Homo-oligomer: A and B are copies of this chain.
Amino acid sequence: MSRGPIEPGSSADGPRPAGRSTLRDVAKLAGVSIATASKALNNQPQVRAETRAKVIQAAEALSFSPNTLAQGLITQRSGTVGLLTSDLEGRFSIPILMGAEDAFGSDQTSVFLCDARGDNLRERHHLRALLSRRVDGLIVVGARPDARPSLGELPVPVIYAYSPSDNPADLSLVTDNVGGGRLAVDHLIRHGRRRIAHITGDPSYGAAQDRARGALDRLAQEGLPLAGDQVWFGAWSEAWGRGATRMLLQRDPGIDAIFAGSDEIARGVLDVLHQEKLAVPAQVAVIGFDNWNILAVNARPPLTTIDMNLEELGRLAAQRLFAAIDGTLGSGIETIGPRLITRESTAPLD
């Protein structure tokens, strides 16, 4: 590893590792001024084609790459954004992050990733650091889909993704859980199911409430009752999926479909249905929520599920942020529509 100071003048030591020559070196090698070198490399018009070629050649010979820090200092734009998440290990931040990374072409914008781990203090800390780094904008991804405290007035635009800000003056992008619930039940109804039950997670989650609401909406629209007499709220775990399914079957053995509030729960549901020798999807259809691949694809049978389009959400957040950086930022809550992923756990009844 050749590190340490390298004399910029000594150009006779062969191809050196990229990244440490300056514009001055390039200019000197090309026999022009620094100003001209800059203009040549940035496709400014006031430079002769021949001169430009000389400069470009010199830049390549030195494998010059401009110092983004210095550029940022002048242009007052760092070309970076901060992504402040609260649960990195959670499966929600990651797709959003990927979408965002995707939307900022890597040429223009790089992403600082910061995980606050749900600690408020750590969040303030990260925020300070990011502002100090002069990020051009911020995307805040919460840990759960309920409102979170606003960061308040900042010198850069902020977009809240997944968890909306509690301040309606901020711009938040969230998934449409009501729509997702509706979509799930709609799918079951279209495939001939009539006795549909709903098992879901922690009732303190807005998402659980919303999905249930969407499901009930769609049932009501069709004039169908909810099978099992109630929404089975509990926990976001396979164990609860198993437990609830057992209780549900006791209460109402004749169900022909179960809408699970998450893929985890759906796995538990499937487990008990197998045990009870109820064929899926022939006798009972099962639909999950989240499209968490590892769970949904590996299920037996593979799980039909609702995908919240988190990547799309990330992409959109990036776009909105980009637009806001040199325009003005909107406000309010924008929702992203969910998407049905059809696999084998639901199928038309004969």
Contacts and interface: CB of A to CB of B under 8 A. Distances in A.
Interface string A87-128: 011000011011001000011001111110000001001101
A132 B126 CA distance: 23
Contacts of A285: none
Interface stretch (A154-162, A183-191, A213-221): A154-162
A73 B73 CA distance: 9
A294 interface: yes
Interface residues of A, number: 70
Interface in A222-263: 237-239, 242
A323 interface: no
A195 B65 CA distance: 61
Nearest to A101: B115
A260 to B, nearest CB: 13
Contact of A20 (B65, B83, B155, B239): B155
Given A69-B78, A101-B114, A1 B329 contact: yes
Given A237-B298, A298-B237, A111 B110 contact: no
Contacts of A19: 131-132, 134, 154-156
A130 interface: yes
Contacts of A155: 3, 6, 17-20
A11 interface: no
A7 interface: no
A17 B111 CA distance: 22
A63 to B, nearest CB: 10
Nearest to A131: B19
A69 B134 contact: yes
Copies of this subunit: 2
Nearest to A113: B113
Contact of A97 (B112, B113, B331): B113
Given A134-B68, A295-B294, A1 B153 contact: yes
Name the residue among A19, A95, A131 with the largest chain B CB count within 10 angstroms.
Answer: A19
Contacts of A294: 264, 292, 294-295
A343 interface: no
A108 B98 CA distance: 25
A10 interface: no
Given A1-B329, A294-B295, A69 B65 contact: no
Contact of A73 (B17, B70, B129, B264): B70
B94 A94 contact: yes
27 contacts: A1-B158, A19-B156, A65-B131, A67-B134, A69-B73, A69-B78, A69-B133, A69-B134, A70-B73, A83-B113, A88-B94, A88-B97, A88-B101, A89-B98, A97-B113, A101-B113, A101-B115, A106-B122, A106-B126, A106-B129, A107-B125, A110-B130, A110-B133, A112-B113, A113-B113, A264-B298, A294-B295
Given A19-B154, A70-B73, 8 more contacts: A3-B156, A3-B157, A80-B112, A88-B97, A110-B129, A238-B300, A264-B294, A292-B294
